[in-house]
Amino acid sequence: MSAKYHPGEIEVQERAGVRSMAERVGNSIHPTIPPAAREFLEEQPIIVVGSVGADGRVWASLLAGEPGFVRALDERTVRIAATPFPGDPLAEALQGASTKVGVLAIDLATRRRLRLNGEAERRPDGRIYVQARQVYANCPKYIQAREPEIGRAEPGLQNGYTLRSRRLTDEQRRLISDADTFFIASAHPEGGTDASHRGGNPGFIRFLDENALEFPDYSGNTMFNTLGNIAINPSAGLLFLDFEGGGTLQLTGEARIVWEAQRAARFAGAERVIEFRVEEAVETRGAVPLRWRFEGYSPFNPA
C-alpha cells in the first residue's frame, strides 16, 4: 500500500503502465503549504472547490474575490474570505461539521495551478477555513491563456440568479460544446476530495445524448487523482465558466472510465475517454464579477 496514493489511484496507474513513474512524481506532494504556494494562493482572484453533499453527490464550485481573499495563515491553514451563492451546493456542504474539500488555485494567464486537499469548515466569522493535508503543483498542460478583467453587469442580468434542473437546456449544451476549459471534482471515501482542470480545443467535449457527454483523457502527470477516485466512486462534478458573462454551470452525475482503444482513437491525442451522465445542473448567472480576455490556446492541445 502506497503512502501517497489510495487503491483506486494505484489501480489506474497500473493499468496505464505508469506505476513507478507515479511513485516518483508523488514525491512532489507536501503535507504542508510551502512558502511559494502560500504566495501563489494569495495572488489569485478565483479558486475551484470540490465538495461532497450529504447525499454523496460531488460538486465543483467557483469562489472569487480580490487577490488576497485566499490567505495561508500558517503552513497548514488556509482562510477563504468568500461565500458561495445560496443556491451553490457548496453552501449546503459547509453547513455541518468539517467536510473534505479539494481546492484548485489556477492562474490562467501564466498557466500555473496548485492543488490543496484537506478539510474545511465555515466558522462564525463567515469565512471558510481549510486544514491542508496534501499540497502540490501541476504542470501547465492544456490550460488556455486568459487575462482577468473587471466585468460589467449586463442589462437585465440578475446576478446570482440560480436555475436548477435535471435536464440540460439547449443553451447549456451549447456552452459545454463550445468550451475549451472545465473543472472536475471527484472524491474517495477515505482519500478525500479533489478538484482538477481539464482543457482542449473547442469540441473536445461531445454529447452522447441530451444529458450524457464524453471527453478525452490526455497524457498528464501520471498521478491519476481524478480517475483513481472515479474508479472507486463514480460520483463527480463538472464546472463550466462563462468567461465572457461571468456565469457558472455546475453539473453533478456519474462518470465512467472507458479504456477501449477504439473509443480513444476518436479523439486526437486521447489515451482514454471519460463518460459523464448528468443527474442535476445548477446554473448561476453573473456568479463572478470577472471577465476573461482570451490570449491563446495551450500549445499542448492535440490538434
pLDDT digits (tens, 9 = 90+) for 180-209: 999 999 999 988 999 999 999 999 999 999
Q: How confident is the model at residue 128 (pLDDT cuts 50, 70, 90)?
A: very high
The answer as to whether 189 is a domain residue is yes
- What region, left, alpha or beta, does residue 239 occupy, with left being phi > 0 and alpha being psi -120 to 50 degrees? beta
Q: Report the pLDDT value the prediction gives residue 86, as an integer from 0 to 100.
A: 82
Q: How many CB atoms lie within 10 A of CB 133?
A: 17
For the record, the C-alpha cell of 58 comes out as 460531488
- On the question of pLDDT at 120 being above 80, the answer is yes
| Beta-carbon contacts of residue 265 (< 8 Å; ≥ 6 apart) | none
226 domain-assigned: yes
Q: Specify the pairing of strand 145-150 against strand 128-138.
A: unpaired
Q: Is residue 298 in some structural domain?
A: no
What does the alpha-carbon distance between residue 275 and residue 214 come to, in Å, rounded to a whole number? 4
Cβ-contact 45, 67 below 8 angstroms: yes
pTM flag (> 0.85) = yes
What was the pLDDT predicted at 122? 94
pLDDT of residue 1: 41
Assess if residue 2 is contained within a domain. no
Residues 259-267 have a mean pLDDT of: 98
Angstrom distance (rounded) from CA 78 to CA 214: 34
pLDDT score at 7: 96
Torsion of CA 90, 244, 196, 147, to 10 degrees: -120
Q: Which residues pair with 119 in a beta bridge?
A: 100, 131
Average pLDDT for 79-107: 93
Query: If you average pLDDT over residues 94-113, what whole number do you get?
Result: 95
Q: Tell me, what's the pLDDT at 224? A: 97
DSSP string of 69-110, one letter each residue:
SEEE-SSSEEEE-----TTSHHHHHTSSS-EEEEEEEEETTT
Q: What is the CATH number of the domain that holds 279?
A: 2.30.110.10
In a domain, 295, yes or no: no
Comparing CA positions, the residue from 88, 103, 125 lying closest to residue 41 is: 103
Quick one: what percent of the chain has pLDDT higher than 90?
88
pLDDT at res. 254: 99
Q: Is the pLDDT of residue 288 over 70?
A: yes
Query: What pLDDT is attached to residue 152?
Result: 56
Following DSSP, what letter does each residue of 177-198 receive, concatenated?
A: HH-SEEEEEEEETTTEEEEEEE
**Is 221 within a domain?**
yes
How many domains would you assign to the chain?
1
270 domain residue, yes or no: yes
All cell numbers assigned to 221: 502527470
Q: Does residue 2 surpass a pLDDT of 80?
A: no
Task: Flag whether 1 is in a domain.
Answer: no
Residues of the domain holding 105:
7-146+159-290
Cell triple for 65: 474575490
Q: Is the pLDDT of residue 210 over 60?
A: yes
* Predicted confidence (pLDDT) per residue in 35-79, tens digit: 999 999 999 999 999 999 999 999 999 999 999 999 999 999 999
